[in-house]
Chain A
Amino acid sequence: MEITSPWSGGLSRVYDAGGEATVHFRPPRRRYTTPSVLMTLSRFAPMIDMSFLLLIFFMTTTRFAKPEGLLTSEMPKYAGGSGSGPAVPLPESPIILRLTPMGPGPDDYAIRIDGFGQAPARIDGISEFLRGLQQQPGFDRKTPVIIFAHDEIRWDHVVKCWNAVLVAGCENVAFATP
């Protein structure tokens, strides 16, 4: 005997075998309905959330500009008057590096190292030259380097020269005014 029930979604059958009745129930099936657009979109909400959060995170953390750093130097003690003349005497055998303007342009400058006529006149070769100088007797990393910068020289060149001296490994760098 077969019984069909409209609410079960399936067929329930009853068999008579040896006087025992066995009944099988099937769970009602869900009726397939096409999901709405809103339902479909709502499933993507966590992904969109995370995408936006990651986007904002990387936008705030990424820095395309180079970071700003500090070069440190010791100042000479102030001697009073109009200048900041050093109160300490200059060392006997320093390497004296002179930055002088050579023309009207902002990049017209020359570098001269006292006592070394073959020294490079541009900043590019200063580090290598000073490294070579440190190998000569009487010079080492602790030999003072004094930078005499002319007032007309651009600050950029002064800092580049200072950095080049530091790159050469010189540990004792000072500024002076001609």
Chain B
Amino acid sequence: MHSRRRYQRRASGVAFNFTPLIDVMMLLTIFFMLVARFTSAEQLAMMLPDPPDSLARVSRMPERVVVNCRVNESQADPDAVVYSLGPNPPESLGGISDRLAALQKQSPRLKVVIRADRRLRFEHVRAAMQAVARNNIEVLHVAAIAEERG
């Protein structure tokens, strides 16, 4: 027993260093998390409706187009509204409707989300809804603040 212990091979001084591996893994994780966040960064900042006990569901739809309805902060008129398709520059509702029609031809299962500022009057949002309905898009999604669920 004693002799066996005597002739046991000693542990070599070479060991695998995990620190760079962990460093790189963490960096890659953070990188991909930031890249994934770019999709939400495309959405324009605005004050969305914030209902109490919100039933709005956080969902990721692959084929979706966002119609933004914003208050034009640059103008003196508080009721001035600006429409835009996703992160694109503002355009008229007629133009948005035409582009929706073209997108609808490309992908018939297109889903439209209306993101409207909560300060807007209903008539402005209704006009956007009409532009969507004109293209026979039957299901409409409206953006609102979702309740935090632990």
A4 at the interface (CB under 8 A from B): no
Within 8 A of B (CB), among A143-164: 149-156, 158-160, 162-164
Contact A60 B139 (CB under 8 A): no
C-alpha gap A106/B47 in the complex (Å): 15
Tally A-B pairs: CB < 8 A. 154
Tell me which of A60, A66, A159 has the highest count of chain B C-beta atoms within 10 A of its own C-beta: A159
Provide the residues of chain A in CB contact with B26, threshold 8 Å: 53, 57
A162 to B56, CA, bound (A): 11
Bound Cα distance A154, B79 (Å): 10
User: Which residues of A are found within 8 Å of B140, using beta-carbon distances?
Assistant: 72-75
Distance (whole angstroms) from the CB of A86 to the closest CB of chain B: 10
A164 vs B49: C-alpha distance in the bound complex, in angstroms? 13
Is the C-beta of A70 less than 8 angstroms from some C-beta in chain B? yes
Most chain B beta-carbon neighbours within 10 Å: one of A56, A71, A78:
A71
The answer to whether A156 and B30 touch across the interface, beta carbons within 8 angstroms, is no
Partner of B148, one of A60, A67, A156: A67
> What number of A residues sit within 8 Å (CB to CB) of B?
44
Whether B30 lies near A70 (C-beta < 8 A) is: no
The answer for the CA separation of A71 and B119 in the assembled complex, in Å, is: 18
A12 within 8 A of B: no
A70 contacts which of B56, B132, B136 (Cβ < 8 Å)?
Answer: B56
Q: How many residues of B contact A (CB 8 A)?
A: 54
| Contact present for A68 and B125 (CB under 8 Å) | no
Contact A53 B138 (CB under 8 A): no
- Assuming the contacts A69-B144, A71-B56, asked whether A154 and B118 have C-beta atoms less than 8 A apart, the reply is yes
Whether B100 is near chain A, meaning CB under 8 Å from some CB there, is no
- Which among A75, A77, A99, A164 has the highest number of chain B CB atoms within 10 Å? A75
B53 touches A49 (CB 8 A): no
Q: Closest CB of chain B to A108's CB: distance in Å?
A: 13
Which A residues lie at the B interface, using CB under 8 A?
46, 49-50, 53, 56-57, 60-61, 66-78, 83-84, 99, 106, 127, 149-156, 158-160, 162-164, 166-167, 175, 177
